[in-house]
């Protein structure tokens, strides 16, 4: 839902009730938001580094590890699944999930994507520790990109962890802004 400060997403989880995305935070805006928010599990995702945001937050708010807002061109390329893995792709309510499964049926890598017109939002890309450094994250990302392109998207948007940032940069994505995730606990 669009709000005067950006976007509000009603997540609905116990520890993540609502998320407010703030593209242009200012001290006055952060003060206004934090004074009107009283529900624990409410998150602010602010396009600014934590060292800028931290002094603006009142007590009760904590900052999570850094994130990075990134964008990248989406292309539909052939995807080769490494030996020993099976690719499973499902779509439900407009969200496509890609999973690389081991022979035992365990999830080795996964991610999801949803189109929003010309853009597609990538979320929850993860490779299990025992399966890292095998190119599985790239397979998941290329699979998701091809699906989004087939539905008309040309640009991807995501929030990366420090660890994930290097994967996305290797795939041609670029940093738009450091992100600070603050939560009322």
Query: In this predicted structure, what is the pLDDT of residue 12?
Result: 86
Tens digit of pLDDT at every position of the chain (185 positions):
889 999 888 888 889 999 999 999 999 999 999 999 999 999 999 999 999 999 999 999 999 999 999 999 999 999 999 999 999 999 999 999 999 999 999 999 999 999 999 999 999 999 999 999 999 999 999 999 999 999 999 999 999 999 899 889 998 999 999 999 999 99
Q: Which of 31, 17, 65, 68 is nearest to 47 (CA)?
A: 68
Query: In this predicted structure, what is the pLDDT of residue 24?
Result: 97
Query: In this predicted structure, what is the pLDDT of residue 10?
Result: 87
Residue 174 token pair:
């670029």
Place of tokens 């940069």: 169
Residue 44 token pair:
């602010």
């Amino acid at each position: 839902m669009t709000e005067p400060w950006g976007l509000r997403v009603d997540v609905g989880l116990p520890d993540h009730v609502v998320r407010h995305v703030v593209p242009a935070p200012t001290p006055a805006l952060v003060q206004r938001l934090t004074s009107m928010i009283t529900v624990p599990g409410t998150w602010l995702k602010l396009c600014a580094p934590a060292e800028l945001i931290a002094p603006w937050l009142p007590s009760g708010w904590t900052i999570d590890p850094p994130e990075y807002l990134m964008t990248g061109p989406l292309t539909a390329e052939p995807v080769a699944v490494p030996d020993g893995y099976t690719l499973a792709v499902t779509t439900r309510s407009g969200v496509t999930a890609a999973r690389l499964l081991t022979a035992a049926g365990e999830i080795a890598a996964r991610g999801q994507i949803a189109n929003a017109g010309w853009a597609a939002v990538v979320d929850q890309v993860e490779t299990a520790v025992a399966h890292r450094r095998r190119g599985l994250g790239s397979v998941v990302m290329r699979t998701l990109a091809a699906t989004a392109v087939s539905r008309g998207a040309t640009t991807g948007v995501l929030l990366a962890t420090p660890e994930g940032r290097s994967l996305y940069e290797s795939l041609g994505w670029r940093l738009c802004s450091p992100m600070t995730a603050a939560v009322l606990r």
